[in-house]
Copies of this chain bind each other. A is one copy, B any other.
Amino acid sequence: MATDKPTRMTARRRVLLDELRRSRAHPTADEVYRRVRRRLPTISLGTVYRNLELLAATGAAQVLPSGEGPRRYDGDARPHVHIRCQSCGRVADVAGEPLVDWHAVAPPAGFSIFGYRLELIGVCPRCARRKRKRSPENNKEELPWQR
């Protein structure tokens, strides 16, 4: 279950976390799976899901707060802001905390606010280039596990 803490540091767990930390690509479970199979050819996708959730639950990694498409994971558990490419879904880290100030907002009666989810939206270099060259249509591109 997602809320149980891992009690054992197994080989798969270690490799999974290592690969996640090596990547700056904020990969999906499937992308982690494909990459980690180089080192653990018999690992199963279910194990990848279980361990990513487990690592996130223990604070060793984090799940990206929402966004369209498949869930993305980040081996850097420190709180930081992300930017997501509108056209391909690629996610990158952003340096510097954007200012979010909600002291002037009025939540509906009875609601208490204790945080927020923020994600910047933009266009990644690759998609910007592609759009300039090709026609303004064709906004799809798959997201390879990069670096």
Q: Which residue of the partner chain B has the closest CB to A124?
A: B111
A62-101: which have CB < 8 Å to B? 65-68, 81, 83, 85-86, 92-101
Question: Given the complex, which residues of B lie within 8 Å of A111, measured CB to CB?
Answer: 83, 85, 92, 122-125
The distance from the CB of A112 to the nearest CB of chain B, in whole angstroms, is 5
Chain B residues contacting A86 (CB-CB under 8 Å) are 114
Q: How far is the CB of A113 from chain B (nearest CB, A)?
A: 4
Q: Is A106 among interface residues, defined by CB-CB distance under 8 A?
A: yes
Stoichiometry, as copies per complex, reads 2
Contact-residue size bin, chain A (C-beta under 8 Å from the other chain): 35 or more
A136 interface contact, C-beta 8 A:
no
A85 neighbours in B (Cβ, 8 Å) = 111
Tell me which residues across on chain B come within 8 A of A108, comparing CB atoms. Answer: 83, 92-94
- Report chain B residues within 8 Å CB of A117: 66-67, 117-119, 121
Closest to A24 in B: B108
Interface residues of A (CB under 8 A from B): 65-68, 81, 83, 85-86, 92-102, 104-125, 128
5 contacts between A and B (CB under 8 A): A66-B117, A112-B122, A112-B128, A114-B122, A117-B117
